[in-house]
Amino acid sequence: MLKKQIPLAITFITGVIIVITFFIPHPPFGRLQQDALTWYSVIFGFTMLLGVDSLVRFHYRKLRRREKGWWFSIIFYGGFLLSFITGVVSEVRFGDAFKIGSSFMYFYNTILIPLQSTMFALLAFFIASASYRAFRARNIDATFLLVTAVIVMLGRVPVGYMLWHKLPNLTSWILNVLQLGPMRGIMIGIALGTVAMSLRLILGIERTYLS
Amino acid sequence: MILFILFSTITVKAFDTPNDGGGSITIKAYNVPETVKKALVYRKTEGDTTYTFAGVMSILSYRYVDANSTIKNGKPYYYRVDFYFPDTVISVESDSPGIAYAQWYDKTKTSSLIFLIVFSTLVLVFIQLAKKDPEGLYIRKIPALDAIDEAVGRSTELGKPTFFVHGLLGITDAGTLAALTILRRVAKKVAEYDTPILVTNFDPIVMTASQETVKQAYTEAGRPDAYNEKNIIYLTYEQFGYTAGVDGLMVREKPGAIFLQGYFFAESLILAETGHSVGAIQIAGTTAKEQLPFFVAACDYVLIGEEMLAASSYIGREPVMLGSVKGADWGKAFLMGVIGIGVVLGTVGAILQSAGNGALMNVFEKILAFF
Amino acid sequence: MNGENISFWEKLGKIDRRWIFLIIGLVVFIPIAFGLRMTVHVSPAVKSAYDTINRLPEGSVVMISIDYDAASMPELQPMLKAILRHCFDKNLKVILINFWPLGLPIGNQGLEEVAREYGKVYGVDYMNLGYRPGDIAVMLRMGTEIRSVFYGDIKGTPLDSLPMMKNIHNYDDIAVVVGLEAGSMGDYWVQYVNARFKQDMILGVTAVMAAGVYPYLQAGQIKGLIGGLKGAAEYEKLVNHPAFGHIGMASQSWAHVVIILFIILGNIGYFMERRRKRGL
């Protein structure tokens, strides 16, 4: 009984306090929200250890039992130890792991940046294949979507101006007027949904996080 | 050398910064010629003979907020502003001292308070109505949530695992909490059908919450022995590292059903396209408005924004939860009404103003300022 | 004869995606390899961002928030450099801050590179606050006093010992905040910093996010918007320093054209196939 009631009580009390302090700037209330966010950051720092522990144990199990794809776990340990060791060594040697010229920055520039950029670059290919597959004029709505997409795609690049000098203006109108209403509607809907969910959480109606 | 111009029209006022927690005085300058190059603010207290430098006033707003930690509530502070023009410098002292106080209520948030009261009242009223008449509440069908059983069933028929991919925000995000609700439903189904499940996590806290959720779901399905903690894994806290990890798992394990639930960023299409390439049925749900088009293009079903946030109510079908969704809908209707009134007022006001009558426009602007 | 046509239209509607990947790859690579360039025209949103910074008097402080990492670097780093060139041209003071830890070295590299070009001095003309965890909490705290979060700069030097930071305490001492965004931090800047502290803001975002930021621009919550690589190219044009933004324009243009051609082909195949099936 207490296992559920205590967390619900904590949620209710802190939720109500944070909502009330939003309207009260007088100390100590005015700073409570910021302090709560700071506490969350501290707690989050410790939970990163949880994640690292889970990952290390997951790959150790794979290695020990020679499960399918166990060699990827060697790569994991290699990368993990490499970044950890070079980070510590660079911090001790230069006083700053991110100092240009340190071994940590060398691996950052030669491994992490190319890898991240490559993954992001995949989007260009996937957008092309997804567009080709998805943009079919099956009905009037899909046709409007298709035409609008073509206008915006052309208007947002220099070739659009070359084709018709007013195309960028039309694109601007679509972005500033036509899509603005629906975008705002979705934003407001999400915000209201979040408020409703938060209210359910504070009142203890929504208990998903307790499991 | 500072010259004192006797007949300058510039005035400087110092006053308590409104709606704050104290320790702050606002200095505002009026009738400042546009040729001013910079304005330096100086401060002294009672008993001081000289001014000390306080800061640089913005010459865009002619306002400076002195929130130095030395400002004490209830103590008068005197200010002088030196305005630097191309050929001269004008010094103007504030006509009265500024005294800082802490306010108990922030008036600028009145509109938020009104909305909070109205919205909360509506939600609570509909919750009470739902308790009295559970059958009387109608919620439209959400195809993506209805398709959960179909997706898991397809995975089972094909003998393939089901993947649940969490988004990139933490447990404090409403979308992540909604994703946990959906995970519970999915996990219960896979427990009933005895289908393998793999849950990938970007955040360690979400991972622990997912583990508890899946464990609870298996228990509810009567299969606590089948629960395997190893199936809920934390990959990495790096965006594209997580994406690469999930993609690799999809390509190797070839799941029959993929659930992409949570807040996603640029990796959304990479995940969805990879899922499509392995032939899985995909159900996505996100509150990230920018990623909705990609999910709509690449997935079979999509939960758009609030549909995801209403998932717990829709799946559980508890009257209290349904009542809260209904109340939220009426809150939206109230907001739409306010916007509609504002649109009419603003439009008619603009038309009348162009015809020479600005009264309605003044009213509209006052209402706008309130919000 | 009919059998061959059917096969052709169906194939047109179901081109193997590997061909699409190959052609896109070539279309992106060839313009860069051959140094092809295109004329860039400036949009009102970017001009508005430029004018906001251009209007600032000498000595004003601009805070630039690096909220991206290596993945979004191709789109946002050119924006950073163009804005830095603009700021240093006008002798504005620059403060860099990070909310994405992996973006810290990228932002720092860009800052040091451009500062060296202009002969600017660290601590006098520019400085780097570095990274602190906490996102919203950090933003809110800086509204009162920057030193309550950042005791020192990225190197650990106390802020008060840096000449330019002597009279900079909170957002009131900062003329404009420029957020270079690849994630949700831009929303937080607007919702917390602009809404509570009335701080003037400019957002530079990836192209995908630009559509979602227009509501803020239209409502006046941000003073300007720089969207994607095209936005970066436009800003480079305004500061008369064409760089990576311009280099990417030909590739981006032709990639868009190729995608549109594929869409058209796919629709032709779809309609012809549908017509054939209706005729059966």
What sections of B15-142 are H helices per DSSP? 110-132
> Lowest mean pLDDT: which of A27-36, A124-133, B36-45, C148-157?
A27-36
A61 and A123, same structural domain? no
Contacts of C69 in chain B (CB under 8 A): 239
Q: What's the CATH code, domain B140-309?
A: 3.40.50.720
Interface test with C, best of A34, A83, A108, A118 (most C CBs within 10 A): A34
Domain boundaries, chain B: 11-99, 107-127+335-370, 140-309
Domain final residue, candidates A79, A98, A128? A128
Residue A198 touches partner B, C-beta closer than 8 Å: yes
A95 and A33 within one domain? no
> Are A83 and A43 part of one and the same domain?
no
Helix (H) or strand (E) holding B78: strand B76-84
Q: Which structure tokens are listed for B52? A: 């000390």
A133 interfaces chain B, CB cutoff of 8 Å: yes
Q: Minimal CA–CA distance to B200: which of A81, A57, A51, A53?
A: A51
Question: Residue A180 and residue C104: Cβ atoms within 8 Å?
Answer: no
Q: What is the ipTM of this complex?
A: 0.81
C214: nearest CB among A44, A119, A180: A180
Domain segments of chain C: what residues?
Answer: 44-249
The residues, ordered by sequence, that sit 6+ positions from A160 with a Cβ below 8 Å of its Cβ are A154, A167, A168, A171
SS3 B130: helix
Instruction: Please tell me the number of Cα atoms within 13 Å of C223 on its side-chain side.
Output: 19
Asked if A63 and A78 sit in the same domain, the reply is no
Beta pairing class for B38-45 and B52-57: antiparallel
Written as tens digits, the pLDDT of chain B (371 aa) is: 444 454 468 999 999 999 888 889 999 999 998 888 889 999 999 888 899 988 888 777 788 888 877 899 999 999 999 999 999 999 999 989 999 999 999 988 898 899 899 998 998 898 888 888 877 777 888 899 889 999 999 999 999 999 999 999 988 888 999 999 999 999 999 999 999 999 999 988 899 899 999 999 999 999 999 999 889 988 888 888 899 999 999 999 999 999 999 999 889 999 999 999 999 999 999 999 889 989 988 899 999 888 888 888 888 778 888 888 888 889 889 988 998 999 999 999 999 988 888 888 888 888 887 77
Same domain, A108 and A48: no
Q: Are residues A90 and A50 in the same domain?
A: no
CA distance B309 to B177: 8
The answer to whether B94 faces chain A, any CB pair under 8 Å, is: no
Contacts of B146 (CB under 8 A, 6+ apart): none
Q: Are residues A106 and A84 in the same domain?
A: yes
Residue ending a domain, choose from A41, A67, A93: A67
Angle at A189 between CA B203 and CA B272, to 5 degrees: 45
Residues of B in contact with A19 (CB under 8 A): 116
Structural domain of residue A102, as residue ranges? 70-128
- Last residue in a domain, options A110, A128, A146: A128
Residue A145 located in a structural domain:
no
Token couple for B6: 């006797």
Task: Give the number of other CB atoms < 10 A from CB of residue B108.
Answer: 14
As for how many domains chain A has, the answer is 2
Q: Would you call B21 helix, strand, or coil by DSSP?
A: strand
Q: Which chains touch B (3 or more CB pairs under 8 A)?
A: A, C
Of the listed ranges A191-195, B220-224, B279-283, C28-32, the least confidently predicted one is A191-195
User: Quick one: tokens of B87?
Assistant: 């050929």
**Do A13 and A48 lie in a common domain?**
yes
Q: Which residues of B touch A179 (CB under 8 A)?
A: none
- Provide the shortest C-alpha distance from residue C172 to chain B (in Å): 6
CB contact under 8 A, C262 and A131: yes
Contact A179 C211 (CB under 8 A): yes
Question: Is A108 found in the same domain as A81?
Answer: yes
pLDDT grade for A197, boundaries at 50, 70 and 90: confident
Same domain for A109 and A62: no
DSSP state for residue C192 in the 8-state scheme: I
- What's the topology of domain C44-249? Rossmann fold (3.40.50)
- Closest chain B residue to A193 measured between Cα atoms? B306
Write out chain C residues lying below 8 Å of A22, CB-based.
none
B11-99 maps to which CATH number? 2.60.40.10
* A135 vs B contacts (CB less than 8 Å): 297
